Amino acid sequence: MTPQLSTGAKQQQDVAIDVQALADLILSMQQPDGAIPWWPGHKTDPWDHVESAMGLTIAGAYDGARRAFEWLQNNQLPDGSWYAAYTDGQPTDRTRETNHSAYVAVGLYHYYLRCGDVDFVRRMWPTLSRAIDFVVRHQTPSGEIYWAISPQGRVDRMALITGCSSITFSLKCALALAQRIGVERPKWRQALEALLNCLQNKPHRFNTTKARFSMDWFYPVLSGAVTGQAAQQRIEAYWKKFVVQDLGVRCVSDRPWVTIAESSELILALTAMGDHQKAGIVYRWICDHTFEDNTFWCGFTFPDMVRWPEEKISWTNAAVLLAADALFNLTPASQLFSHAHWQRNDE
């Protein structure tokens, strides 16, 4: 029998998500070397690869999750980074993005919270440490972190709100893991403090061309760079710009395309700041956008409601699993993004 995760008791509505179906989809895409592409034959990028591994972790598919992290271990470059894309085991985009490299820390801390396997964390620590050191080397005196190194080896001196917000959270997770294994990393803490200060107080340091993307709106809240009243104000200020009533979240503000991943990540941001009621509403909006096998669409256009693209995407389904866990406390890792969780850790 396929296990079902029922959410009806908490939402007073019969909404269910088929955890096993989502995990099976991700596992079916995982390659023999551990890589998890977007879909079969498509690219694997380090950030979405980790997101997919987190989906497996939620479902208890620990072997698949460990194989995914071992793929990162086996493909890490000498400077601690990874290429932006691989296809069938070969690099197809030799850009090296800082937020991609940092995200391994989030995946590993999530894995630790879920199953408490500190031995695996220790095995992966050299990989994580090299990755975070690579990221911190690209921080400016103002606190922002440059987004990428080109295939030709040139630093792209641009900082992105979404990317730096993601790095903020990665640094938090890396420091939490360092504490768990008894390692001191004062330079990482200094980097985190400088990056937080920049995100909170120096908006002019970031490229504004991505403001059309909903991630630039909610990622500072999701990452905990913006909390409390400031988080509430940020969410309210741009809600109508990105949220389509009864449907979900636009990927880009000026395009009629709602995506399940962005909607799921908004749910994560809302639960992180403690707004479970609004998060539950958005969750119900997306729950019926599934294929016959109960896995989720990538997105759809509106008002014609055409599913696009047609592919079943690994990390989209992982994002839904993360959102469901955050909203309904399914696993010990459900508080990963919770602002209250991190405030308790800092005390």
Q: Provide the whole-model pTM.
A: 0.95
CATH of the domain at 69: 1.50.10.10
Output the pLDDT for position 18. 95
pLDDT for residue 14:
41
- Kindly give, in sequence order, each residue whose CB lies less than 8 Å from that of residue 193, ignoring residues fewer than 6 positions away: none
Q: Can you give the residue range of the structural domain that contains 246?
A: 5-346
Contact present, 308 and 257 (Cβ < 8 Å):
yes
| The residue to which tokens 């909610």 are assigned | 218
Tokens representing 124 are 């992966």
Start-to-end CA span in the chain (Å): 44
Nearest to 196 by CA among 80, 45, 346: 346
The tens-digit pLDDT sequence of the chain (347 residues) is 223 333 333 333 445 799 999 999 999 999 999 999 999 999 999 999 999 999 999 999 999 999 999 999 999 999 999 999 999 999 999 999 999 999 999 999 999 999 999 999 999 999 999 999 999 999 999 999 999 999 999 999 999 999 999 999 999 999 999 999 999 999 999 999 999 999 999 999 999 999 999 999 999 999 999 999 999 999 999 999 999 999 999 999 999 999 999 999 999 999 999 999 999 999 999 999 999 999 999 999 999 999 999 999 999 999 999 999 999 999 999 999 999 999 987 75
pLDDT of residue 90: 97
Please give the tally of structural domains in the chain. Answer: 1
The Cα 145–Cα 85 span in angstroms is: 21
What contacts 143, CB < 8 A, 6 or more positions away?
194, 195, 196, 197, 198, 199, 202, 205
pLDDT of residue 344: 85
Work out the number of other CB atoms within 10 angstroms of the CB of residue 5. 18
Residue 115: predicted pLDDT? 97
CA 110 – CA 177 distance, rounded (Å): 10
